[in-house]
Amino acid sequence: MFFYIVTLPSGLSRWCKQSQSTNQRIVETSKQFKRPSIQFLTGILNGSEFMFIKAEQVIIPKEKQFILLEGQGTNATIIQWNAHADPGDAEINSAAFLVNADNFIARHITFQNSYDYRYKQAIAMAAVIQGDKCSFYDCKFLGYQDTLCDFQGRHYFSQCWIEGGVDFIFGQAASLYEGCTLNSILIDEGPSWFTAHAKVNLSAPGGFVFKKCYLIGSGNMYLGRAWNQHSTVLFYQTFMSGLIVPLGWDSWQQDVSQITYAEESCTGPGSNKSQRVRWERQLSAQDWNRFISSEFIDQDSWIEQQSP
């Protein structure tokens, strides 16, 4: 029998059977991260460790702030959902996991959309992040097209694995990815794109910053394409394997004068910038420090304050 434990703010706990809906058991939470609000546990089945797979779409509603969702490892705890969006469908409904609330933490969990993209390519999101001050530690996001919708708010990803083939990190959020691996599983030569970023206007907060990350996998990949003319994506001290298209970036027919794409101190065969697009930005040391430091997403020290 599979179980998981829900820890209430008071410290009391209750056991729940797997058959009950996760969405029905999101409990009231305090305004501090005292203990995991929802904790998935592996257990023993016939003397062997088993894997917990939650085959259900999980939604954290907007009013349920201060939730910490913790698994027992990305190979042991998996939230999995099989859905896709056809033309005309609400694309967000394909997601296996949606966070609409602010102040959310996930650790040691895999979020997977198991839709079979080899049959027909379609939008099939693993996760949609719409709340502010959301952080993910040692998590996996598995899909193919539009794997991670990093939609809006300020987000922090540490030591995560993000896998897909087309636009598999996209949105208009302001997010820092630190020590993360982006793994392309493109099934043809492509080219395709790791990222597709947009934001409301040039002065609005927003951008994807990849610090000390790893770009690996198959196919031929652009670092990013401009979802709109204010797209902002930066790679800092990141390893780039040989799958990077020499041009690096795709304007997608946007006005390149307002696009901010930049690389600094990257390594690997894909980091050779001799054939990069002419409109790639050359940022000053001061600008780089603004993006890779806490100033970018953490001016109010929310990441430190979330530490349970």
Q: Report d(CA 264, CA 228) in Å as an integer.
A: 23
Q: Which of 132, 146, 150, 250 is catalytic?
A: 146
How would you class 65 by CB atoms within 10 Å of its CB: exposed for 0-12, middle for 13-18, buried for 19 or more? middle
Q: Report d(CA 308, CA 295) in Å as an integer.
A: 22
Can you give the pLDDT at residue 96? 94
Active site residue 250: no
Domain assignments of the chain as residue spans, ordered by start: 1-164, 201-299
240 or 308, which is more confident: 240
Say which CATH architecture domain 1-164 belongs to. Answer: 3 Solenoid (2.160)
Q: What number is the average pLDDT over the span 225-248?
A: 97
Residue 232: pLDDT over 60: yes
Q: Which of 132, 138, 150, 167 is catalytic?
A: 167
Which segments within 26-168 are labelled E, that is strand?
Answer: 38-40, 44-45, 48-49, 52-55, 58-60, 67-70, 77-81, 97-99, 104-107, 110-113, 127-129, 134-137, 140-142, 148-150, 154-158, 161-164
Q: Report d(CA 97, CA 61) in Å as an integer.
A: 11
Can you give the pLDDT at residue 204? 83
Model confidence pLDDT, tens digit, residues 158-197: 999 999 999 999 999 999 999 999 999 999 888 999 999 9
Residue 33: pLDDT over 70: no
Q: Using an 8 Å Cβ cutoff, are 31 and 9 in contact? A: no
Active site residue 146: yes
Mean pLDDT estimate for the chain: 84
Q: Report d(CA 107, CA 133) in Å as an integer.
A: 15
Confidence of residue 8 (pLDDT cuts 50, 70, 90): very low
Confidence of residue 118 (pLDDT cuts 50, 70, 90): confident
pTM of this prediction?
Answer: 0.87
The alpha carbon of residue 43 and the mean position of all alpha carbons in its chain are separated, in whole angstroms, by 28
Residue 143: pLDDT over 60: yes
Model confidence pLDDT, tens digit, residues 34-64: 544 555 544 433 344 445 666 778 898 898 8
Residue 23: pLDDT over 60: no
